[in-house]
Structure 1
Amino acid sequence: MIITDVQAFKVVLPLAQPLHLGPLKIDKRDYAFVRIRTADGKQGTGFGFNRDGLVPEAVVRHLKSLLLGEEVLHTERLWESMYRATRFHGRRGLLMRAISAVDIALWDLKGQYAGLPLWQLLGGYAAEVPAYVAGGYYRADADTDTLRREYADYREQGYRGAKIMVGGATLAEDVRRVAAAREGIGEELPLMVDFNGALSSAKQALAAMEAFAPYQPAFVEEPFLMDNRVALRGFCDRTNVPVAVGEDESGRWAFRELIGDGLVDVLRHDATLVGGISEWIKVTMTGLSHEVPFYPHWFPEVHIHLAAAFPQGWGVELIPASSGIMGFDKLLDNPVEMEAGVARAPEEPGLGLRWKEEALEKWAVI
C-alpha cells in the first residue's frame, strides 16, 4: 500500500455557449486531476476545479515529495504533513485545492483496499439520497419563457427541488427570473437562489430577499464573498431566510467561526476545496454538533458518497449533462444520475468511478 507515483494534470473542456455566474463569464471548464499509484498496481483519482490556476503544478512541486514512499492508509498524517509544509504558500485557495485533490485520491485508494464504496466505509447512512438540480444560469437565449420551461422540466423529471442563479442582472430582472422559475417548478417544491458572491452589503441582500419573498426561497446561497463577514453577519441577524454558505471556504478553522457565530444555516462545503474528504468530514461533524445540516456543493461524483454517509444531509446537487454547463460527464462512463427523485450511491470500491481514459487524454493539458 506504499505510494510509488503521483501525477497531476489539468483537463480543459470548452463550452459550446458561454455562461455567467454573477459577474463571472465562463467559456470553458478547467479541471485539475491527481493520480496516485501504489506498489501493488492500484490507482486512486482525485479532482476539482483548476480555475485557470496552477493546481497540478502545486501538487507536483509542493506535495509529491511528501507522498512518495508513504502508506496510503495514513490519510490524517499525510494531510497534516501537506498542510504544514505549504502553510507559507497559502492556507486556502490554490494550495488547498491541491491538497484536496490528493486527499480525494487517497480516499479513493482507501476504499479500494477496504473493498468498500466510500459511503459505506465512512458511515453508510443511506444508499439513496434526494437529488436536487442547479440551473437558471445566465445565457444569451435564456429569457423568462425559457426559464419557465426549464423549471417545469425539472419538476416533471422528478427532482426534489431546484436552484437558480441570481445577482448577475438588475434586481428587477432577477425578480422576473425567480418568478418564472417558481411558476415552472410549482409551489410545492423548494426553490433556492444563489448569488455566487455578487452582493457587497447586508442592505442589498435584505432588499433582494424582500423582493424574492413572494416566491418563497428555501435558502439564499453565497450572497457575499466569504471574506465579507461583516455583511454576512448583518444579513444573518436580520433575515428569516436560511443562509447557505461554504463552497468557496477552506479549512475547519474558518467553518468553526461560521458555525459558532451562527453565520450558516446550511453547510455547502466542497470536498474539492475545503481540504479533501478528510477535512470535509471534520467540518460536517462540527456542523452536526450544532444541528446545522449540510448540502454539498456540486461534484456529485465525490459528494454522493459523503451525502450518503452521514445524517442531516439535504442530498446531492446535480447539473444535467444536457445543459452543457460542466462537461464532466464527458470524462466518465458512470456519472451520477437522478432517478425518481434520488441519486443512488455507487457499489464499487472507493469512489467507484469508471473514467473514459481516451477522453482524459484528449482534453488533458500536462
Structure 2
Amino acid sequence: MKITRVQIADCPIPLPRVLRLGPIEIRTRDYVVLRVETESGVAGEAIGYPRGTPLFETLSSMARKIVGKDAEMRRRVMFDLEQSNVPARAALTRGLSLIDIALWDIASKQAKQPLFQYLGGLRDSAEVMQVAGYYIDQRSIPDVADEIARMRDTGCRRVKIMLKGDSPDFDLRYASAATVKMPGQVAADAHWSWTSLNEAKRTCRSLDGLGLNFLEDPFAASDWRFTHELRQDLATPIAAGEDVFGRHAISDLVSGIDIYRADATTVGGITGAVEAIHLAGAAGRTVLPHVFWPLHIHLACAFPAVEGVEVIPPESGADPLDRLLRNVPVVENGEMRPSEEPGVGISIQWDAVEQLASRHLAVTADDAA
C-alpha cells in the first residue's frame, strides 16, 4: 500500500490575549497538521505543536522521503527516516512523531479498529484532568477559584492550575485558594519557571503543605537532575517529561519523578509513546499524557499505567484545538470515552485548515527525493 501524497499545513491561530506560561509568552497557538495518503484511499492524519521548531520544514523534507514507500511497513519507513540524519535526531523528533502517528492511523483504519482496541484495549473510558487558571496574570484569584468550583460541580475529579512562577507569595495565595475548592485534587504547573534549586525551593517548600496532587515541570527537560533533587526535598509528587524523548533520557527522568507526562507528538509518535509508557510502568511510575486528548485518550484506554488524559477546556481560549478537528471527544462527569471510529482519534477539518493555514504544501511522487 504505497504512500502517494503527503499534505502539510502550518496553522497559527491568534489567541484572544497574550498567554504567559512561566517565562514564555504565547500570542498565537501554533499547530502543524499532517495527512499521509495511500493508493488504497486510506489516509492517516496527525497534529502537533511546533513550539519554536521548524516542524513544517522538517515534515516537508520527510514527506519527500516517504512518498512511494509502503505504509504497511511502518517500522521500515520510520527506521529509514531516523537513520537518514542521525546527527539531527533531536531536531527531527517532532516531525518523526507526527509521521509515526499518521502511519498508525492508517494501520488502525486498515484493521477497522480504533487505536485503543488495536493496542489491545483495557477500558472504554478514562478520567479527565481539566486545566484551569490560564491568563492568571490578567485575572483575580477568586475568579480562578470559581472556575475550579464549576469544574468540580460538573464531576471533574482533578484540576491543574498554571502557576506564575516568578512570585512565591502570589503562587502560595493562588494555590491555597485553589486547593480549598478541591482538597488533594489540584495539581500545579510551573512551566519550567526556575533555573536554580534555591529559587525553586523558595516557592515549592511553601506549597508543599497544601496537599497538591502534583507539581509539574519545575525545570527545563534538560535539567532533570535538578528535578530529581527537588523531588527529594518535597512531599508533593513531581510530574515531568512532555518534551523528553529517547529511551535513555526517559529512563533517567522517570527514576526520580512520580508521574511521567508522555506526549506522543514529541516522544516518537505512538511507537515512542508505547515504549515510554512501558519504561515508566517498569519503574513503578504512572503516566498522564500531555494534552492532545483526542489521541491520548486511546493510550489511556489501552494501558494500566496511564492515569487518564489532560483537557484544556475550549472556553478557556488557550488551546483552540477544536477549530481544526472533527468529532473531538467531550468530558462527561469527569470521564472521557475515545472515538470508536477506526483510527487514532485525529480527524482534521481541512476546510478550516484552508482558512487558517499560513502555508500549505502537498508532496506527490513527482516531488519525492
TM bucket, shorter chain: over 0.9
- Give me the TM-score of the superposition, normalised by structure 2: 0.93
The sequence identity of aligned pairs, in percent, is: 32
Map 1:263-274 onto structure 2 (within 5 A): 263-274=256-267
**Is the counterpart of residue 147 in structure 1 residue 140 in structure 2?**
no
Q: Indicate the SS of the match to 2:151.
A: helix
Two-structure CA RMSD over aligned residues (Å): 1.6
Contact kept, 8 Å, 1:8 with 1:57, in 2: the verdict is: no
> Match for 1:192: what amino acid?
A
Q: Which moved more, 1:52-61 or 1:299-308?
A: 52-61
Corresponding residue for 2:364?
Answer: none
Question: Match for 1:251: what amino acid?
Answer: G
Aligned with 1:206 (options 201, 210, 213) = 201
What is the one-letter code of the residue matched to 2:350?
Answer: E
Are 2:221 and 1:226 equivalent residues in the alignment?
A: yes
What does residue 360 of structure 1 align with? 353
Kindly indicate whether residue 248 of structure 2 is the aligned counterpart of residue 253 of structure 1.
Answer: yes
Structure 2, gaps ≥5 residues long: 360-369
Q: Which residue does the alignment assign to 2:270?
A: 277
- In 2 relative to 1, CA 272–353 (structure 1 residues): closer, same or farther, beyond 3 Å? closer
Cα distance between partner residues in 1 of 2:250 and 2:52: 26
The aligned residue for residue 286 of structure 1 is 279
Gaps of 5+ in 1: none
Once structures 1 and 2 are overlaid, which stretch shifts more, 167-176 or 107-116?
Answer: 167-176
Residue 12 of structure 2 aligns with which residue? 12
- Look up the equivalent residue of 2:48 and give its one-letter code: G
Q: Distance in 2 between matches of 1:229 and 1:16?
A: 34
Q: Which residue of 2 aligns with 1:85?
A: 84
What SS class does the counterpart of residue 8 from structure 2 fall into? strand
Task: Supply the distance in 2 between the matched residues of 1:265 and 1:115 (Cα, whole angstroms).
Answer: 36
Output the CA distance in 1 between the equivalents of 2:325 and 2:175.
Answer: 33
Q: How many residues align?
A: 359
Secondary structure of the 1:274 match is coil
Q: TM-score, normalised by structure 1?
A: 0.94
Q: In the alignment, what sits opposite 1:300?
A: 293
CA distance in 2, matches of 1:288, 1:52: 31
User: Which residue of the partner structure matches residue 109 of structure 1?
Assistant: 106
Q: Deviations over 1:55-110 (max 9, x none)?
A: 1211122x123312222122222222222212222x22x41111111111111111
SS of corresponding position for 2:252: helix
Which residues of 2 match residues 1-366 of structure 1 at below 5 A? Answer: 1-61=1-61, 63-89=62-88, 91-92=89-90, 94-183=91-180, 185-187=181-183, 189-259=184-254, 262-366=255-359
Deviation at 1:320, TM superposition (A): 0.6
Deviation at 1:52, TM superposition (A): 4.1
Q: Distance in 1 between matches of 2:45 and 2:273?
A: 17
Displacement of 1:140 in angstroms is 4.5
Residues 163-190 of structure 1: CA deviation (Å, up to 9, x unaligned)? 111143300011111112122x332x51
Q: Tell me the distance in 2 between the aligned counterparts of 1:273 and 1:81.
A: 18
Q: Is the 8 A contact 1:164 1:193 kept in 2?
A: yes
Output one character per residue of 1:215-246: Cα deviation in whole Å (capped at 9) or x when no partner.
21111111000111331232123222211110
8 Å Cα contact 1:331/1:359 also seen in 2:
yes
- Could you say if the C-alpha distance between residues 204 and 123 of structure 1 is closer, same or farther in structure 2, counting changes exceeding 3 Å? farther
Report SS of the residue matched to 2:130: strand
Partner secondary structure for residue 165 of structure 2 = coil
Contact in 2 for aligned 1:5/1:36 (Cα 8 Å): yes
Deviations 1:276-304 (A, max 9, x none): 11111111111111221100001102101
